Amino acid sequence: MTAKSRSHRILSRLENYEMRPLTKVEENAAGEIAQSLGEFIGVYAADQQTGKVYFFERGLRCERWESDTILYEDISGVSLPDDKNSKYIEITSNRETVKIFPAKSGDIFSIMRYFDRIIYDVKNNLEF
Protein backbone atom coordinates (compact mmCIF):
# COMPACT_ATOMS: atom_id res chain seq x y z
CA MET A 1 0.00 0.00 0.00
CA THR A 2 1.43 3.35 -0.97
CA ALA A 3 1.78 6.18 1.53
CA LYS A 4 -0.79 8.16 -0.43
CA SER A 5 -3.47 5.45 -0.46
CA ARG A 6 -2.83 4.70 3.21
CA SER A 7 -3.21 8.38 4.04
CA HIS A 8 -6.51 8.63 2.19
CA ARG A 9 -7.78 5.47 3.91
CA ILE A 10 -6.89 6.89 7.34
CA LEU A 11 -8.36 10.26 6.40
CA SER A 12 -11.70 8.71 5.43
CA ARG A 13 -11.94 7.18 8.91
CA LEU A 14 -10.96 10.40 10.67
CA GLU A 15 -13.28 12.72 8.76
CA ASN A 16 -16.29 11.54 10.74
CA TYR A 17 -14.69 12.35 14.08
CA GLU A 18 -13.61 15.96 13.73
CA MET A 19 -15.11 17.14 17.00
CA ARG A 20 -13.60 14.58 19.38
CA PRO A 21 -10.02 14.35 20.60
CA LEU A 22 -7.88 11.88 18.68
CA THR A 23 -6.57 8.66 20.15
CA LYS A 24 -2.78 8.28 20.18
CA VAL A 25 -2.99 6.00 17.14
CA GLU A 26 -5.08 8.54 15.21
CA GLU A 27 -2.78 11.37 16.28
CA ASN A 28 0.18 9.50 14.80
CA ALA A 29 -1.80 8.66 11.66
CA ALA A 30 -2.83 12.28 11.20
CA GLY A 31 0.82 13.28 11.42
CA GLU A 32 1.64 10.80 8.69
CA ILE A 33 -1.14 12.20 6.55
CA ALA A 34 0.09 15.75 6.91
CA GLN A 35 3.60 14.74 5.93
CA SER A 36 2.95 12.08 3.29
CA LEU A 37 4.40 12.89 -0.09
CA GLY A 38 4.45 16.57 0.82
CA GLU A 39 0.73 16.61 0.02
CA PHE A 40 -1.61 18.63 2.21
CA ILE A 41 -4.83 16.87 3.09
CA GLY A 42 -5.04 17.75 6.76
CA VAL A 43 -3.17 18.91 9.81
CA TYR A 44 -3.46 18.09 13.46
CA ALA A 45 -2.95 20.48 16.32
CA ALA A 46 -3.35 20.71 20.06
CA ASP A 47 -5.08 23.33 22.14
CA GLN A 48 -2.41 23.89 24.78
CA GLN A 49 -4.92 25.21 27.32
CA THR A 50 -7.04 22.05 27.24
CA GLY A 51 -4.45 19.59 25.97
CA LYS A 52 -6.97 18.22 23.48
CA VAL A 53 -5.76 17.21 20.05
CA TYR A 54 -7.93 17.61 16.97
CA PHE A 55 -7.60 16.67 13.34
CA PHE A 56 -8.42 19.60 11.08
CA GLU A 57 -9.71 18.98 7.59
CA ARG A 58 -11.99 21.28 5.57
CA GLY A 59 -12.35 23.50 8.65
CA LEU A 60 -10.29 24.41 11.67
CA ARG A 61 -11.69 23.66 15.10
CA CYS A 62 -10.72 24.99 18.48
CA GLU A 63 -12.77 25.12 21.65
CA ARG A 64 -11.81 28.74 22.23
CA TRP A 65 -13.34 29.95 18.98
CA GLU A 66 -16.77 31.51 19.36
CA SER A 67 -18.11 29.35 16.57
CA ASP A 68 -17.47 25.63 16.30
CA THR A 69 -15.95 25.76 12.86
CA ILE A 70 -13.85 28.26 11.00
CA LEU A 71 -13.91 27.34 7.33
CA TYR A 72 -10.85 28.04 5.22
CA GLU A 73 -12.85 30.64 3.35
CA ASP A 74 -13.25 32.59 6.60
CA ILE A 75 -9.54 32.74 7.34
CA SER A 76 -8.14 36.19 6.73
CA GLY A 77 -4.62 35.55 7.93
CA VAL A 78 -2.19 33.03 9.30
CA SER A 79 0.97 34.25 10.94
CA LEU A 80 3.98 32.96 12.75
CA PRO A 81 5.05 34.91 15.82
CA ASP A 82 8.20 37.02 15.55
CA ASP A 83 10.01 34.78 18.03
CA LYS A 84 11.52 31.90 16.06
CA ASN A 85 11.35 29.67 19.15
CA SER A 86 7.63 30.23 19.57
CA LYS A 87 5.49 27.11 19.51
CA TYR A 88 2.25 28.44 18.07
CA ILE A 89 0.64 29.75 14.92
CA GLU A 90 -1.92 32.56 14.98
CA ILE A 91 -4.95 32.11 12.77
CA THR A 92 -7.18 35.12 12.18
CA SER A 93 -10.72 34.68 11.00
CA ASN A 94 -13.13 37.42 10.09
CA ARG A 95 -14.13 37.59 13.78
CA GLU A 96 -11.19 36.68 16.00
CA THR A 97 -7.60 35.48 16.33
CA VAL A 98 -6.73 32.13 17.87
CA LYS A 99 -3.39 30.57 18.71
CA ILE A 100 -3.00 27.01 17.46
CA PHE A 101 -0.27 24.84 18.94
CA PRO A 102 1.19 22.02 16.85
CA ALA A 103 0.57 18.69 18.54
CA LYS A 104 4.14 17.55 18.05
CA SER A 105 7.19 19.58 18.76
CA GLY A 106 9.25 20.13 15.67
CA ASP A 107 9.74 22.57 12.88
CA ILE A 108 6.87 25.02 13.20
CA PHE A 109 7.93 26.55 9.90
CA SER A 110 7.13 23.26 8.16
CA ILE A 111 3.69 23.29 9.72
CA MET A 112 3.26 26.90 8.67
CA ARG A 113 3.75 25.88 5.04
CA TYR A 114 0.69 23.63 5.31
CA PHE A 115 -1.42 26.60 6.35
CA ASP A 116 0.04 28.69 3.52
CA ARG A 117 -1.10 25.99 1.13
CA ILE A 118 -4.62 25.90 2.58
CA ILE A 119 -5.08 29.62 2.10
CA TYR A 120 -3.53 29.63 -1.37
CA ASP A 121 -5.58 26.65 -2.54
CA VAL A 122 -8.87 27.96 -1.23
CA LYS A 123 -8.41 31.45 -2.55
CA ASN A 124 -7.54 30.01 -5.95
CA ASN A 125 -10.33 27.40 -5.88
CA LEU A 126 -7.88 24.56 -6.34
CA GLU A 127 -8.58 20.95 -5.50
CA PHE A 128 -6.24 19.40 -2.97
What is the DSSP annotation of 11-68? HHHHGGGTTSPPPHHHHHHHHHHHHGGG--S-EEEEETTTTEEEEESSEE--TTSSSS
Q: pTM of the full predicted structure?
A: 0.31
Q: Report the pLDDT value the prediction gives residue 6, as an integer from 0 to 100.
A: 46
Neighbours of 119 (CB within 10 A): 16
Is the pLDDT higher at 1 or at 87?
A: 87
Q: Report the pLDDT value the prediction gives residue 75, as an integer from 0 to 100.
A: 54
Is the pLDDT higher at 40 or at 97?
A: 97
Q: Report the pLDDT value the prediction gives residue 105, as an integer from 0 to 100.
A: 40
Indicate if the pLDDT at residue 88 is higher than 50: yes
User: pLDDT exceeding 90 applies to what percent of the chain?
Assistant: 0
Q: Which CATH class is domain 3-123?
A: mainly beta
